[in-house]
Chains A and B, each alone.
Chain A
Amino acid sequence: MTKKRDDISDKAISVIASQIANIKIKENELTVRAEVMENLTESIAALRNLPLKDVEPAIIFRPILSEKRAENE
């Protein structure tokens, strides 16, 4: 069973934003962002409990033909 994760903190938002996305979030906005993200994350994480074992994602890879070849086929 997965360990219950900690709530998303101001610091986590700040570190991930700057180190992964290379953006700086203003200090006075961090708490609001963290609260919103915590709520959103909960609803998104709930998808992990669905019966998705044999279900493929809706996006399917399609090989791309050159435009000229596609017109000929």
Chain B
Amino acid sequence: MSSLTDLSISQLVLGYQAKDFSPIEVTKAYFDRIEKYNENLNAFVYIDREGGLASAKLAEDKYNKGDFKPLLGVPLAHKDLYCTKGLPSTAGSKVLENNIPDVDATSVERLSQSGAINLGKLNTHEFAYGPTNENSLFGSCLNPWNYKCFSGGSSGGSGSAVAARLCAGATGSDTGGSIRIPSACCGISGLKPTYGRVSRAGIYPLCWTMDHSGPMARSVEDLALMLKAMSGVDKFDSASSSLEVGNYAETLRADISGIVLGIPNRYFFDQAQPDIENSVREAIEVLKSLGATVIDIDIEHIEHAAGAALAIYLSEGTAYHDNGFENNQDLYSDQVRGFLELGNFVLAKDYINAQRFRTLLGEEMARLFEQVDYFITPGLALTAQQVGQENINIRGIEQSVFSAILRNTEPFNLTGVPALVVPCGFSSEGLPHSMQIIGRPFDEAGILNIGHIFQSVTSWHIKLPSEVNE
């Protein structure tokens, strides 16, 4: 039998039911790994050993009584941007250093109701306002494939902890790519669902109209199980959708022959690191060998996505933090304080133009989705970089790491369509590459189906990171 911490969520649940091992044994195995590796990774910022073991005992009692739930006894952890009742919830900022909420975020509550165990809280870029997780009250979160590199962010603790087998799955949030970026940097699977699919209630906002909540796990099958538990209408989130929640785990194995994949070469491929482009094109060949048809597409106006996203999150972020900023500004890190200051300079007409651009881009994507079923792109244009590195040259173009890393993900926050990243290769330095699969609004089942079929014939997603492989 493989190590308990290598098992997938579905394997854990089946093993508990068969009494091959117990929730207490598995939870202790995870705490042992946290003790061994967290000091180097800095993924967990609060470890709830007492609460985790108490929940494991309750789960064990329920299994003994035959009282099953979909995630009963599965050890997860939550991004520190999520409110957790009675546990520190700092958003990675000194501003909330002593904050202990008296309610859970809706997703935390729903995962608990499905039987999941909470092992603790995970590092995040301060207030989720940055894509590297270098900047947090607790210090940088590091990458289990190379301790010199960042984990990606803002849900960096989630990406690092899941990849290093410090928890079976984790929650994340994604405003410009904050689920998909650390998933891609750390070589795990991450899903940004459709805007409105998963409640944002109880998660500290970065930007109301672009914030998404979603699951991060090692396999697509695990994402499907977590998504089902997290999804559904929520009266505390005015944007949440009342559309029926799918049975995502049941539709994972559908035949993908006949599906049409659109490949937007311009913008997404032609400015990615060449070895990333190669890995993603090889992954596309795998999908073709399974019966998918591939056609080239072009997303008109895509080059303006970064400008529109900037106008929106600078404006909304500054509006959210405005109350009390005057008195608290020294509590923010220099980087986040700088962004919050800059938000004061965006003109109202530019913010409105950016929101109009979202309509334009959404209409363009809808038009393309009449010709193809899904888009495929590289998850990111670059691999994880060394902590502190500010600029990067990709194909002769010098750019900031921040803008390069957001390039491929943030267009889909603007249009709110679902997007999944799955690992699909490695650089010569041993850092993960990933493929992004984008679908029509609320077609989470479709993109999870493609991701799962890909993972059923490849093994990129089960490789153990080199720094935590003793």
The CA of A37 and the CA of B350, in the complex, are separated in Å by 14
Interface string of A31-73 (1 = CB under 8 A from B): 0110011001101111110111001111100000001000000
Verify A59–B310 contact, CB threshold 8 A.
no
Which residues 319-360 in B have Cβ within 8 Å of A in the complex?
322, 325-326, 329, 334, 338, 341-342, 344-346, 349-350, 352-360
Please tell me if the beta carbons of A40 and B326 are within 8 angstroms of each other in the complex: no
A50-B301 contact in complex given A21-B341, A22-B326, A59-B209, C-beta closer than 8 Å: yes
Using CB atoms, name the residue of chain A closest to B363.
A55
Count of interface residues, chain A, beta-carbon cutoff 8 Å:
31
Interface pairs (13), CB distance under 8 Å: A17-B344, A21-B341, A21-B344, A22-B326, A23-B325, A29-B338, A33-B338, A33-B341, A46-B304, A47-B311, A48-B353, A50-B353, A52-B353
Asked if A44 contacts B310 (CB within 8 A), the reply is yes
For the side of the interface on B, what is the size category? 20 to 34
Known A-B contacts A51-B360, A59-B355; A17 and B311 likewise in contact (beta carbons under 8 Å) = no
Cβ distance B276 to chain A, nearest Cβ, rounded Å: 24
Asked if B314 and A47 sit within 8 Å, CB to CB, the answer is no
Give the residues in chain A near B346, CB-CB below 8 Å.
Answer: 44
A contact patch SS: helix
- A1 interface residue per 8 A CB criterion: no
Contact of A44 with B344 at beta-carbon distance under 8 Å, contacts A23-B329, A36-B338, A58-B362 already known: no
A55 in contact with B338 (CB, 8 Å): no
For the complex, what is the distance from the CA of A58 to the CA of B441, rounded to whole Å?
A: 15
Which secondary structure dominates where chain B touches chain A? helix
User: How many contacts between A and B, using CB within 8 angstroms?
Assistant: 87
Contacting residues, chain A, for B314 (C-beta < 8 A) = 40
Q: Does B291 contact A (CB under 8 A)?
A: no
The 6 closest A-B pairs by CB, nearest first: A57-B355, A43-B307, A58-B358, A21-B344, A47-B353, A44-B311
**Interface assignment of B164: CB less than 8 Å from any CB of chain A:** no
Q: Is the CB of B325 within 8 A of A40?
A: no
Give 7 A-B pairs besides A23-B329, A57-B358 with Cβ atoms closer than 8 angstroms.
A17-B344, A23-B325, A46-B304, A52-B353, A52-B360, A57-B355, A58-B362
A47–B162 CA distance with the chains assembled, in angstroms: 39
